[in-house]
């Protein structure tokens, strides 16, 4: 499945680091609901992985070495770019 422009821009923003649905919405001038739907689609397509810290053991988390929440039992949800997502960004912008 290919990425649309919004999905591509969201992947780029997430790849740059700290972000929120609200910040991406403002930067791209689209409603938050569109950003949330695009992120959900990116997860379903395999470009992002959703991590729910309350449900996953920190020892298995790919962010365990850098996560500021690793010692605090919070309901934190984050998303990480998969290898497929990284390849998609590289392919799109290496042209």
* pLDDT value, residue 89: 87
- The closest of 46, 48, 51 to 66, measured between CA atoms, is 51
Q: Rounded mean pLDDT of the chain?
A: 84
What SS3 state is found at 82?
coil
Structural domain span for residue 67? 5-93
Q: What is the pLDDT of residue 39?
A: 97
User: Other C-beta atoms within 10 Å of 22: how many?
Assistant: 10
Domain count for the chain, please give it.
Answer: 1
Distance CA 59, CA 95 (A): 38
Distances (CA, A) of 37 to 6, 59, 88: 10, 29, 19
Predicted confidence at residue 76, as pLDDT, reads: 73
Q: Looking at 48-91, which runs of residues are DSSP E strands?
A: 48-52, 77-81
The residue ranges of the chain whose pLDDT is under 70 are 1, 54-60, 63, 68-75, 95
The predicted model scores a pTM of 0.79
- What is the Cα 64 distance to its own chain's centre? 16
Looking at residue 66, what is its pLDDT?
A: 73
CATH number at 24 reads 1.10.10.10
């Amino acid at each position: 499945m290919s990425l649309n422009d919004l999905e591509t821009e969201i992947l780029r923003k997430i790849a740059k680091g700290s972000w929120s649905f609200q910040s991406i919405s403002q930067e791209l001038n689209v409603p938050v609901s569109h950003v949330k739907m695009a992120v959900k689609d990116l997860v379903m397509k395999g470009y992002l992985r959703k991590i729910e810290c309350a449900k996953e053991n920190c020892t298995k988390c790919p962010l365990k070495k850098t996560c500021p929440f690793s010692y605090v039992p919070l309901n934190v949800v984050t998303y990480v770019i998969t290898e497929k997502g990284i390849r998609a960004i590289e392919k799109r912008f290496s042209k």
